[in-house]
Amino acid sequence: TFQIKEWLGVDKLLSLDAYKEYYGIDDIDSFLDVNFKVCRDVMCPANKDADEPGAKFVGGNEHAVVTPDSFKNVYKTVMDAELGPQFGYRGEGKIPLCWYAPILEMQSAASPSIVMFWCLTQGAITVLHEFATKKQQDLFIPKLRTGEWGGTMGLTEPGAGSEVGAVKSRAVPTDVPGKYKLTGTKCFISSGDHDLAENIIHLMLAKTPNAKEGTAGISLFIVPKFWVNDDGSIGAWNDVTTMGIEHKLGIHGSTTATLSMGENDNCYGWMVGEAEVVDGRGIGMKQMFAYMNEERLNTGLFSLGCIGSAYYSALDYAKIRVQSKHSTNPKGPSVRIIEHEDVRRMLLSQKSILEACRALIYQSYLYRDLAVDAAAFVANKKTDEFAAEFAMMADAMAAFKDIVDMNAAWTAGDKQMKQLYATRTLHAGARVYCGKLLLDQALLAAAKLKGQGDVDVNFYKGKIATARFYIMNHVPDIFGYEKAMKCGDRSAIEIPEESFM
């Protein structure tokens, strides 16, 4: 809870009108306690089933994909504990998203396959809350919140991946305003079909007959697997066929499906909101970006959970594995490998990267919360302690300024060079910003150690050591990026395709 309760200053967030009547700073403890028990007692034991047998494609219209039996227990437990898509609700009494960050991190560490099912549902709720009509919200959000229904995002097609504007799916208006008949194929759809929920609500991108080419012509549609009647009851199968699921290197329990709409000319959906296609322009991409941006953050948390699990497993092993004598006592007994210098370096490297990523992601979730009333939040700024670390960060910022200047020059001139070094630019920015976040935490930890009262000395010393290690060992990577970019090497651009052999 250091990140949430001490560093991020969530108490200021909870003073805003959207939260102050519902939660206090210590309420996060009860959420985390329940979540930890669910992860330990229910999710972790099911993780083996997530890998083998994983999810299986069996075909048919009812449940074309079946999940392991243990998944049903996990899903029900998480829904009953309200630790799933309930966090996607942004109405009155909503839970701060920054509280969801540690919850999803723990869940991802326990079983990264299973969390996909409710994270996609959470994103669907976000889109519907922001853009759907009152009727659409009342019809779909309540059962998405409880997990009775699942949600998906339908962007990718066999011929349209990152180039979303190339989608071939079509939506033809019917005699009922807002209701469309859909045809098309979507692929790589996470949680696209499964037997954990009684219905799946797909949010599908498609184009109407008068749509412009490219992304400007895209609209977003609510396409249920089973039609939802006006009274909220489930109707007939909606002609959404699961063609198969991907055979992936990992997360075998997560169903990544190919879906076909309208093979029997009987697939229908509702355009999201009161949107109309005016002059061939739809607002589907704007609506879908609310979903995409949420899933980008969630994907970061999936990764954070996995690297955290890897680090803590490595730490536990290093504490019990006895191997070789210590460098300072060559005639003494063999010692645990955590006592060896290079192992300690590797562990601290893992810890510093883990905590930098955690700080970055948690802060991103806080900023999403603060979008409600950003002006009400004022952050505290820093002192001039940690001279060596501040000096390193100043040098790194100067190097990053040079990198930004190079990118500006390439934008005006050699655009290929900007593309060539785009990834290194992102890496450089990450080193600087993550260093800044960990230095923030080190300053807070130092103040805690100098303050009055009992504190966990080893915990706060760990924060300081972690920040120092990252700033002195990972931030300097930026100087290598800067030097490589200044060299301006164009080999990757100029090499003939045949020469890659």
- Tens-place pLDDT, residues 259-282: 999 999 999 999 999 877 777 788
Inform me whether the pLDDT recorded for 186 exceeds 80: yes
Residues 132 and 251 in one domain: yes
In whole angstroms, give the CA distance from residue 467 to residue 216.
Answer: 45
Inform me whether the pLDDT recorded for 383 exceeds 80: no
Residues 246 and 269 in one domain: yes
Inform me whether the pLDDT recorded for 374 exceeds 80: no
Please report the pLDDT score of residue 384 as a whole number: 55
Mean pLDDT of all residues in 222-228: 97
Inform me whether the pLDDT recorded for 391 exceeds 90: no
Q: Within 13 A of 459's CA, how many CA atoms are on the CB side?
A: 9
- DSSP summary character for residue 40: I
SS3 19: coil
Q: Which range (171-180, 217-226, 235-244, 385-394) has the least confidence?
A: 385-394
In whole angstroms, give the CA distance from residue 249 to residue 244.
Answer: 16
Please report the pLDDT score of residue 372 as a whole number: 57
Contacts with 409 (C-beta within 8 Å, 6 or more apart), sequence order: none
SS3 248: coil
Residues 219 and 313 in one domain: no
SS3 363: helix
pTM higher than the cut 0.85: no
User: Residue 106 maps to which CATH number?
Assistant: 2.40.110.20
Please report the pLDDT score of residue 127 as a whole number: 94
Residues 366 and 399 in one domain: no
CA-based torsion, 132, 138, 144, 148: positive or negative: negative
Please report the pLDDT score of residue 381 as a whole number: 43
Mean pLDDT rounded to a whole number for the chain: 90
CB-count burial class (<10 Å; 0-12, 13-18, 19+) for 17: exposed
**Contact predicate 111/74, CB 8 Å:** yes
Q: How many domains does the chain have?
A: 3
Residue 432 in tokens: 């600087």
Confirm whether 166 is domain-assigned: yes
Residue 99 in tokens: 């509280």
In whole angstroms, give the CA distance from residue 170 to residue 205.
Answer: 9
Confirm whether 78 is domain-assigned: yes
Asked which of 329, 351, 376 is the last residue of a domain, the reply is 376
What is the number of other CB atoms lying within 10 angstroms of the CB of residue 423? Answer: 10
Domain range enclosing 28? 2-295
Asked which of 295, 330, 362 is the last residue of a domain, the reply is 295
Confirm whether 381 is domain-assigned: no
In whole angstroms, give the CA distance from residue 458 to residue 446.
Answer: 12
Please report the pLDDT score of residue 492 as a whole number: 86
Q: Within 13 A of 70's CA, how many CA atoms are on the CB side?
A: 19
**Contact predicate 193/255, CB 8 Å:** yes
Q: Residues in the chain, how many?
A: 501
SS3 250: coil
Residue 351 in tokens: 């810890």
Contacts with 363 (C-beta within 8 Å, 6 or more apart), sequence order: 8, 437
Residue 469 in tokens: 């290690």
For strand 149-154 and strand 199-207, is the pairing parallel, antiparallel, or unpaired? parallel
SS3 148: coil
Residues 10 and 49 in one domain: yes
% of the chain surpassing 70 pLDDT: 96
Please report the pLDDT score of residue 371 as a whole number: 64
Residues 114 and 259 in one domain: yes
Mean pLDDT of all residues in 152-177: 88
Inform me whether the pLDDT recorded for 501 exceeds 70: yes
Which DSSP string corresponds to 158-196?
Answer: TTBSS-GGG---EEEE-SSTTEEEEEEEEEEEET-S-SS
For residues 453 and 139, the model is more confident at 139
Most confident of 80-94, 289-303, 312-326: 312-326
The residue whose two tokens read 């910022």 is 397
Q: Which amino acid makes up residue 275?
A: A
Query: CA separation (Å) from 381 to 439, 440, 468?
Result: 12, 9, 19
Residues 193 and 254 in one domain: yes
Residues 400 and 345 in one domain: no
Mean pLDDT of all residues in 183-193: 95
3-state helix, strand, coil in the chain (%, to 5): 55, 15, 30
Confirm whether 356 is domain-assigned: yes
Mean pLDDT of all residues in 215-231: 95
**Residue 385 confidence class, pLDDT cut points 50, 70, 90:** low
In whole angstroms, give the CA distance from residue 146 to residue 150.
Answer: 9
Helix (H) / strand (E) containing 223: strand 218-224
Residue 313 in tokens: 């497993």
Q: Which amino acid makes up residue 109?
A: A
Inform me whether the pLDDT recorded for 16 exceeds 90: no
Please report the pLDDT score of residue 106 as a whole number: 96
Q: Which range (83-87, 192-196, 356-360, 372-376) has the least confidence?
A: 372-376
Confirm whether 300 is domain-assigned: no
Instruction: Quick: pLDDT tens for 455-492.
Output: 889 999 999 999 999 999 999 999 999 999 998 888 88
Please report the pLDDT score of residue 449 as a whole number: 87
What is the number of other CB atoms lying within 10 angstroms of the CB of residue 408? Answer: 11
Cis check for the bond before 45: say yes or no (omega within 30 of 0): no
Residues 394 and 359 in one domain: no
Residues 104 and 189 in one domain: yes
Please report the pLDDT score of residue 343 as a whole number: 94
Confirm whether 500 is domain-assigned: no
Inform me whether the pLDDT recorded for 187 exceeds 90: yes
Confirm whether 301 is domain-assigned: no
Residues 394 and 347 in one domain: no
CA-based torsion, 205, 207, 213, 217: positive or negative: negative
Residues 348 and 457 in one domain: no
Most distant CA pair in the chain, distance: 88
Contacts with 433 (C-beta within 8 Å, 6 or more apart), sequence order: 360
Please report the pLDDT score of residue 60 as a whole number: 84
Please report the pLDDT score of residue 377 as a whole number: 43
Asked which of 249, 266, 295 is the last residue of a domain, the reply is 295
Please report the pLDDT score of residue 342 as a whole number: 94
Please report the pLDDT score of residue 443 as a whole number: 87
Confirm whether 26 is domain-assigned: yes
Residues 99-119 as b/e (b if ≥16 CB within 10 A, e otherwise) read bbbbbbbbbbbbbbbbbbbbb
